[in-house]
Every structure is written in C-alpha cells, then in structure tokens.
C-alpha cells in the first residue's frame, strides 16, 4: 500500500515564513499611511469640509461641531458688520459734533455773512470758530463775492479819502492787524475804536459801521492774522 505523501507546511520553510512576515508588515504600513492621509485631509484648511478619519464627510457629533463652527463664523461676521456700522455712525456723530463736513472749499476759508454780521473760520470743511463783526455802512457796503488775501499789514494807518465836508469822512486811525482782500482798500482789520458791544447783528447800520472794510475784535484779529496766510479764501455772502 502506497502511503500518501504529507502536504508540506509552507510556513515551516524559512523562505515562506520570511515572505509571510514581509506581507504582514506591508499591510500594517499601508493602514498607517491611510490613517495619516485621512488626518491630514481632515486638518487641511483647503479641504472643502471637515472630514472624519475615514475620509468621509463628517457626520454625527463631529458634523454638529462643524455646523456650530460655521454658525460661529457667521455670527462673528454679522457682529463685525454691526460693529463697523456702529463705528461709521460714531464717526459721523463725532464729525458733526466737531462741526465738520461743511461744503466749503478745501484748506483755510473765512466765510462772512452780512445778514448776521458774523464770520466763520474753516479748515478743510471743519469749523474752527466764529466771531461777530461789523461791515460797511449804507452807501459803502462791503462787497460780496469770493476773494483771496493778497496783502498783510501790522500795524497799519488809515486816512480818509473824503474831505471833512463829506458824510463819509473819518479822522486818521491806526489798527494793529489788517489783511487786504480786494483792490480799492478793502481789509479785514482790528478796530480798537469800536467797543466789543458794538459788533454783531445790525452793526452795519450803527455809528461804528465801516467804510466797506470788515471790522473784527482785536483778540480775534490777532489770532486770525497769524492763522490766515496769503491766498486764504474769503467768501462774503449777502
């Protein structure tokens, strides 16, 4: 009777055993590589969505966390937009409070209102201050229009071009500060002979009315003389 030959155990052979080990190690390395790839994709800022470790779109609790993350971003964007709107309103309020945003030419501007006998000083549309004034009397009214300072004098003397027989005659006078804005002798100037109470509304019809110039109280004119430069704009409105 012929006995069947026993089937050899392949793992018992050294070569077979070694090949088996290599195969197992390769499978382990491949598994680790897949997990690492999934983790990297889940953490990548360029990925379209947060991914679970298996490489699929996040679901379950992780999906809830992702939704909350997106909701937080939306809420933050809305809060920032509201804050920007609030800041814009605050800025506008501050500009209004500081008397800015006037429709005046850029740079330094002096605006005279003959009706109210007042002058307003602006810089780049922002109001710096105001002062009561006295302008030209009847028959010698201060001319209206837009002018530019072209000469400055400190001190200056004025003498009447009219004879003593003229109703417009005045005795020689001196002023500490004067700025000429129109040919023919039209000045903004201090008027030390005019009391502070005489400036203001209807003063152009009073006894201290000018002969076409613009009287400004000395303390204000002292500041104005140093602030205004040659070329500063003067706007005289009726």
- Region 53-74: mean pLDDT is 39
Strand order in the sheet with 126-132: 126-132, 118-123, 108-113, 233-237, 145-148
Phi, psi of 48 (to 5 degrees): -70, -30
Q: For the whole prediction, is pTM greater than 0.85?
A: no
Quote the CA–CA distance of 17 and 85 in Å, as a whole number.
74
pLDDT of amino acid 82 = 56
Candidate ranges 81-85, 95-99, 105-109; pick with highest mean pLDDT: 105-109
Q: Is 108-237 assigned to CATH 3.40.50.300?
A: no
Question: Which residues are within 8 A (CB) of 18 and not within 5 positions of it... i.e. 6 or more apart?
Answer: none
Among 26, 221, 224, which residue's Cα sits nearest to residue 123? 224
* pLDDT single digits (tens) 186-237: 999 999 999 999 999 999 999 999 999 999 999 999 999 999 999 999 999 9
- The domain spans of the chain are 13-96, 108-237
Q: pLDDT class for 48, splitting at 50, 70, 90? A: very low
Taking all residues of the chain, what is their mean pLDDT, rounded to a whole number? Answer: 75
Q: pLDDT class for 102, splitting at 50, 70, 90? A: confident
Write the burial class of residue 14 (CB in 10 Å: 0-12 exposed, 13-18 middle, 19+ buried): exposed
Could you tell me what percent of the chain has a pLDDT over 90?
55
Assign 199 to helix, strand or coil. Answer: coil
Running DSSP on this structure, what letter comes out for residue 136? B
- Region 153-174: mean pLDDT is 97
pLDDT of 42 > 80? The answer is no
pLDDT of 46 > 60? The answer is no
Residues in the chain: 238
Quote the CA–CA distance of 151 and 134 in Å, as a whole number.
21
Quote the CA–CA distance of 214 and 135 in Å, as a whole number.
5
Residue written as tokens 């810089």?
Answer: 123
């Amino acid at each position: 009777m012929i006995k069947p030959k026993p089937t050899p155990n392949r793992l018992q052979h050294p070569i077979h055993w070694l090949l088996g080990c290599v195969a197992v190690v390769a499978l382990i390395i491949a598994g680790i590589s897949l997990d690492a790839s999934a983790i990297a994709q889940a953490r990548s800022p360029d990925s379209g969505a947060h991914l679970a470790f298996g490489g699929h779109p996040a679901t379950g609790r992780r999906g809830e966390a992702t939704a909350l993350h997106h909701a937080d971003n939306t809420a933050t964007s809305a809060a920032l937009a509201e804050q920007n709107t609030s800041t814009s309103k605050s800025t506008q309020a501050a500009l209004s409070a500081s008397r800015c945003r006037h429709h005046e030419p850029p740079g330094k501007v002096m605006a005279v209102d003959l009706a109210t006998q007042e002058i307003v000083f602006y810089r780049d549309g922002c109001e710096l201050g105001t002062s009561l004034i006295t302008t030209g009397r009847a028959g010698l009214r201060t001319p209206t229009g837009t002018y530019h300072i072209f000469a400055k004098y400190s001190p200056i003397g004025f003498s009447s071009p009219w004879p003593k027989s003229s109703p417009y005659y005045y005795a020689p006078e001196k002023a500490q500060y004067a700025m000429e804005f129109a040919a023919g002798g039209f000045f903004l100037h201090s008027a030390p002979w005019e009391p502070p109470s005489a400036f203001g509304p209807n003063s152009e019809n009073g006894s201290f009315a000018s002969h076409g110039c613009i009287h400004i109280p000395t303390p204000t004119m002292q500041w104005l003389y140093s602030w205004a430069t040659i070329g500063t704009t003067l706007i005289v409105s009726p």
